[in-house]
Structure 1
């Protein structure tokens, strides 16, 4: 049975963002969107928590996980329902962004959480302002640039996944690091995820990473590696608290968040274009691109006030729209409401925070690898002549090289060093600048 027959809709209705399926059919579709992004959404909060020195299951980690759910739901509502011109009015799912992690980790370690959230709020406002003009610069962001950006995000994060799978940063240099006990859990997660993705159907396949994490979690539970000591003390309901971690203006954090806002905006342009192409067979309008980018920024600024991390549109949900063929933004609205409700229950965050780090490591290896794959897929539309190959080569070589050898910049000021050794910012800057200044080759068969 086709999706149109199942939903009792015409093909034209399926391609219409304003069409609303009946509630008994819309809610499962909305939950499916939540399952597709659930793990990716709270993972950055755990990574930042660990960088800040918070223990697994600690109240600070639980709160950050809680805020990730609440404000991804809030930001998604801004996208689907919209506030005037703010919001794409498309089935865009917002979630905590992986892209900011390479900048957030050094900021947290060197300047603290108050500086981080000061940067998040100011960066969100800057991101909002980008949305007011980004429609004029769409031609400067072809698949060559967006693909390099997305690949750089994934490659910059993969070492984090390996560290977690081996036992986590606190164990590095110790005999426990890299033992079979840790790697075994990560491998279980990876294998079960692959089995669910390739042999499961429907929601089982869509939620493959979540099912893999649950399998690894159950194995860890059976071996006594999970502690629920802190879950009992978690509340059943709690509202977000403004400026829970303070607010501090730190130049490195502000510059880093503002520059990453540009990267995130580029990613959002690609995601919104992917939704309209995959779900409706058309190009995104300037209004949708601008409104979606402004919603990114507004959602991030609001989240930062309450202790939520920067959010962006989620690429995995773009693929889900293409797979189901359902363009209804109201379907995603139901998913957003579910996220907000779950985030207001701290016990949910407390249970998530009991997950052993090696289990999380197996999941993020898959997720970060899929980010790289998504970038490679974007580059499939690029005509690979010498010009474009050089842009890719130089951007990735410099960006990833500086991240791998941060000592090479030891004579630079601290702020500049933090920004350049993220890997992502120099790679993105080079990709954008080189694409603008290098002349196109006469033999180009299609636009890069």
Structure 2
């Protein structure tokens, strides 16, 4: 890219003591362990809940999540989410050849794939994970190849399309947060579902998180969701809702197991994962641009955009070999960089090493499974609400002409409608039924195709 350098504003925070402004905004500068360790752990705290939540949601949809007789599969998924988030983050910060942006990008398990994953694994138990493993591997490889063409595909994904997809992801998953807060799918149809005690736990999480987010400073605000979950967990302990049996029985160390869940090809799953790779690629491009333009003071280089997208794909494919789900860059950590004023990639490398350590210790994952589902539900409601808010922010860049309103409205209506009424697709082949009932994919396909075909595409952004 040849755009002129972008001037940094005086609004950026002052760097921590001991380093100059130029050093703080240099991604290759190492600020010393006294600064790097706490900032690295702060990055982990900011992304921790978002990283493990998809694994918990997938396990719950498949039927081996909270309340199952054997939590070992869920614990393994949580461990792999932490381990390979760390590995993928190292790919970004350290890099291997052309793979990696060599910028402070934090990777984590992607929410974007959940609307595709849930219809595939719904009620099918651990057996469905074999198909997801194969789809994640193929999708990751496709994503890696896609990185070589990132500059050529951006035209097909303007803010109207990407904002719509992010909004659909949030809308598709909000039901999960309410179900969790009410007691989980396992309690539906019983007096326990929607009981006051369940909403009390979820409410403690929400109120604590909002309070810390609005009135807290520094790490208190940055880790507000995690601290809100801890507050709800403390109340659950006081109510006698927590059993530590899983922690006591967990091993001291857990190594990743190749093809832990098996390997089974599913055309619908592979196709869905490859399509969502486009969205993940654009998300990484946006995060790289935000770091370079907002914190370093220059446009992102082509090598950084290609490397970041390649790391997404390689990290996803490598993690899939051991049963991990797709990963992507985490925008909340990009925001954290702006808050701290330190752009060192070595700070994030320390956070990645901490994640890898947690991923090798199954007692960490076992402890997470002891958190009551209502507590997690409070956090999930907030997270998916923030995803929807981010989508609305993206959509502010759209020029809402009649053309764009019609395209957006049709895609949104068809996507939500097919997700709410999957029986309308009962006469289609299974692969098509799974893809179309996800909601996100039909909405994305309609928006992309119409945006390319209907005249007036170049006037869709302000």
Shorter-normalised TM range? over 0.9
Does residue 273 (structure 1) correspond to residue 289 (structure 2)? The answer is yes
Task: Report the Cα distance in structure 1 between the residues aligned to 2:395 and 2:364, rounded to whole angstroms.
Answer: 38
- Structure 2 partner of 1:447: 461
Deviations 1:102-136 (Å, cap 9, x if unpaired)?
11122223561111111111111111111121122
The equivalent residue for 1:32 is 42
Matches within 5 A, 1:332-343: 332-343=348-359
Structure 2: gaps of 5 or more residues: 1-10
The equivalent residue for 2:262 is 246
Length-normalised TM-score, structure 1: 0.95
Q: Which of 205, 208, 220 matches 1:204?
A: 220
Q: Which consecutive unaligned segments of at least 5 residues does structure 1 have?
A: none
> What is the distance in 1 between the residues matched to 2:257 and 2:299?
40
- The alpha-carbon deviation at position 262 of structure 1 amounts to 1.9
Conserved 8 A contact 2:13-2:339: no
Deviation at 1:246, TM superposition (A): 0.6
Following superposition of structure 1 onto structure 2, how do residues 354-369 of structure 1 map, counting pairs within 5 Å?
354-369=370-385
Structure 1 residue 43: Cα displacement: 0.6
Which residue pairs with 2:82 in the alignment? 69
Q: Write the distance in 2 (CA, Å) between the matches of 1:306 and 1:5.
A: 39
Other structure's SS at 2:108 match: strand
CA distance in 2, matches of 1:258, 1:136: 17
Match of 2:4 in 1: none
Task: Tell me the number of residue pairs that the alignment of Structure 1 and Structure 2 aligns.
Answer: 446
Cα shift at 1:13: 2.7
Residue among 407, 421, 438 paired with 1:391: 407
Residue by residue over 1:272-322, the C-alpha shift from the partner in whole angstroms, topping out at 9 and shown as x without a partner, is 222223222433222212111110011011111111111111111121122
Matched, 1:82 2:95: yes
State the match for 2:344 in structure 1: 328
Match runs of 1:262-411 below 5 Å: 262-411=278-427
Q: How far has the Cα of 1:26 moved from its partner?
A: 1.2
**For residue 19 of structure 1, what is the aligned residue in structure 2?**
29
Sort the Cα spacing of 1:275 and 1:393 in 2 relative to 1 into closer, same or farther, 3 A.
Answer: farther
Offset of 1:52 from its aligned partner? 2.2
SS of the residue corresponding to residue 349 of structure 1 reads helix
* Number of the residue aligned with 1:190: 206
Assess if the C-alpha contact under 8 Å between 1:146 and 1:270 holds in 2: no
Match of 2:72 in 1: 59
Specify whether residues 223 and 149 from structure 1 end up closer, same or farther in structure 2 by C-alpha distance, changes over 3 A only. Answer: same
Cα contact 2:75–2:369 (8 A) shared by 1:
yes
TM-score of the superposition, structure 2-length normalised?
A: 0.92
2:19 to 6, 9, 27: 9
The answer (yes or no) to whether the contact 1:7–1:21 under 8 Å persists in 2 is no
The SS at the match of 2:366 is helix
Equivalence for 1:103: 116
Q: Deviations over 1:147-190 (max 9, x none)?
A: 22211111111111111111111122222211111111111110
Change (3 A) 1:2 1:413: closer
| Cα displacement (A) at 1:252 | 1.9
Q: Could you tell which deviates more after superposition, 237-246 or 381-390?
A: 381-390
Distance 2:373 2:222 in 1: 23
Structure 1, residues 187-215: CA drift from partner, whole Å, max 9, x if none?
11100000110111000100010011001
Distance 1:23 1:394, change over 3 A: same
Please give the alpha-carbon distance, in whole angstroms, between the structure 1 residues aligned to 2:353 and 2:117: 28
Q: Is the 8 A contact 2:15 2:24 kept in 1?
A: no
Q: Report the Cα offset of residue 27 of structure 1.
A: 1.3
Counterparts of 2:416 and 2:17, CA distance in 1 = 46
Pair 281,427 (structure 1): closer, same or farther in 2 beyond 3 Å: farther
Which of 49, 52, 57 does residue 59 from structure 2 map onto? 49
Q: Tell me how far apart the structure 1 counterparts of residues 332 and 311 of structure 2 sit (CA, whole Å).
A: 18
